[in-house]
Amino acid sequence: MTIQARIGDVTERIARRSHDSRSLYLDRIRSAADKGPQRSRLACGNLAHGFAACAPGDKAALSGDVVPNLGIITAYNDMLSAHQPYERYPDLIRQAAHEVGAVAQVAGGVPAMCDGVTQGQEGMELSLFSRDIIAMSAAIGLSHQMFDAAVFMGICDKIVPGLLIAALSFGHLPAIFIPAGPMTTGISNDEKAKTRQLFAEGKVGRDELLESESKSYHGPGTCTFYGTANSNQMLMEIMGLHMPGASFVNPGTPLREALTREATQRALAITALGNEFTPVGEIIDVKAIVNGVIGLHTTGGSTNHTMHLVAMANAAGIKLTWNDISELSDVVPLLARVYPNGKADVNHFQAAGGLGFVIRELLNEGYLHRDVKTVYGSDLSGYTVEAKLDAEGNVHRDPVPEISGDENVVAPFSKAFSSNGGLKVLSGNLGKSVIKISAVAKERHIIEAPARVFHTQEEFLAAFSRKEMTGDIAAVVRFMGPKACGMPELHKLTPALGILQDRGHKVALITDGRMSGASGKIPAAIHLTPEAAEAGPIARIQDGDMIRLNAITGELTVMVDEAEFAARTPAVQDMSAHQVGVGRDLFAAFRANVSSADTGAHVFGA
């Protein structure tokens, strides 16, 4: 089936815009691939260092150019529930490599912070920047030039985007991403959210809140709501970098282990030493990026990816813009309802048909590019499956069911929950921002309310505690952008804003900070650029200014006389308190050099 017209137009536009940068990128990685196995270019002393700690058999294998060596980049730590399962993966991967006559080495580890732990804390101001640190750390691991392919083990918010940026920097190497899967289902997300709101109202104490949170985040694996971490896993699969059906299989299961072994052996099969050479820089092309954006929209994924996808595309020489993302959202239907866009979690999504069902529905209607390369060796139709175990304990795949297991969670194309993805770009005299409305009630898609300006989350919460907010409000929280303080997420605001909305007030949030994939029922214009620290228009908003947020037409406007607004002196804020403590002093160069939110908020240049 031919691709849907608007999707085809956006794809062609991105390709034209990216022609020169993409051509330079492909020339670079093809030149690196043409030089043959990297180890052959190492001097004897270099190579001896590279396999000094290996077993004798591995040393003998690596002394030549025939046996492939697989580099393992791991984001393991045992504080992150999502990453704790990775502790034993290197042994499993080495064993699987030996079974096919190959070698595997841990090339390096990368930092992996938990946004759940740092949410609302000072450490959150390092979170976005950690993506670029992860990319650089992974690059250091691969820089030894010992490897013919790499596997990347990462799950959460900035970690997968950082790993993919690194993989694309070494785009001449094959790369497969290996997930660890979501934790099993705990208490419902609705129940958790209600307890948080009761705590914000002072109706339950900290003990009750902690008990609720512990029942929700209760074991190894990814948090089960559909935030950035699980959006990452969807992206890696729909862009062809996972083995089909791998994203949402729980940790510690025989299928999870079999998928890891399979991914290892597949990575070794697609090196330049074999007949199926598939470098990652050839997989991630314009069509794969567009498929990723479509996947984000159709599943109601994380707003963080309005930055991460731009940065990841940039690493492959592809110039993706917010306008591209917004235009695709206008035509891509919403086929999944997973919390916060519904009551189900990712385990329910998987049981109802999961990503394979969604991919099949979109391919059948011409809403995804089928003709792409993948690590599986097929086009994208190879991903319309669910993974299972055969009698011998190996992975086999069946076509996904024709009928959804639960149409309240995964809908067929003909019964889409919405005709669009619900992720929009807002523009106007305040600049550009993004909004996710898939979880926002339709009657709240247009808000006009007076501004109340704050420079920190704590200022807002203090005013809320003093019961100062008694009517409609457009809460403006500024100096939260990447240059100001690293663009933290502002989820501490969510319960209080929800209470105000539940009282019948018109409520909106306008900020140059983030709200991420957990953003929910409050209309929130986030990632506003230019940011306040660069004297953007948000710095000229004053208390009482009427603000119009229209998610239908894509408008974000302060309703002040144009000449009067332009004549105002932008507010300034002493940010010195945000520049020290918990390592923030080490990130001054990042704050000084980070690009704007709409260009990916990265430090890697054009």
CA–CA gap between residue 271 and residue 10 (Å, rounded): 32
> Residue 296 forms beta bridges with which residues?
none
Do the Cβ atoms of 157 and 119 come closer than 8 Å? Answer: no
> Residue 547 forms beta bridges with which residues?
449, 558
Q: Is the peptide bond before 482 cis (omega within 30 degrees of 0)?
A: no
- Residue 487: CA count within 13 A, CB half-sphere: 32
Annotation: binding site:
156, 223
Q: Is the peptide bond before 174 cis (omega within 30 degrees of 0)?
A: no
- In three-state secondary structure terms, 56 is helix
Written as one letter, the residue type at 460 is F
Biggest CA pair distance of the chain: 77
- 503: which DSSP letter? T
CA–CA gap between residue 261 and residue 255 (Å, rounded): 10
CA–CA gap between residue 541 and residue 508 (Å, rounded): 15
Interacting residues of 457 by C-beta distance below 8 A, sequence separation 6+: 120, 477, 490, 492, 493
Query: CA–CA distance from 523 to each of 146, 187, 389, 426, 515 (Å)?
Result: 49, 26, 44, 12, 11
Joined together, the tokens standing for residue 387 give 């993974």
Do the Cβ atoms of 196 and 209 come closer than 8 Å? Answer: yes
Using alpha carbons, select from 302, 320, 219 the residue that is nearest to residue 491: 302
Annotation: binding site for [4Fe-4S] cluster:
156, 223
Do the Cβ atoms of 529 and 518 come closer than 8 Å? Answer: no
Joined together, the tokens standing for residue 358 give 């969604």
Using alpha carbons, select from 311, 328, 333, 329 the residue that is nearest to residue 320: 311
Would you mind telling me the total number of residues written for the chain in this entry? 606
Joined together, the tokens standing for residue 214 give 């512990």
CA–CA gap between residue 164 and residue 315 (Å, rounded): 9
Name the pairing type of β-strands 69-74 and 149-153.
parallel
> Residue 569 forms beta bridges with which residues?
none
CA–CA gap between residue 382 and residue 517 (Å, rounded): 28
How remote is the C-alpha of 139 from its chain's centroid? 19
Helix (H), strand (E), coil (C) string for 448-481: EEEEEEECCHHHHHHHHHCCCCCCCEEEEECCCC
Using alpha carbons, select from 346, 263, 336 the residue that is nearest to residue 294: 336
Place of tokens 């992720």: 423
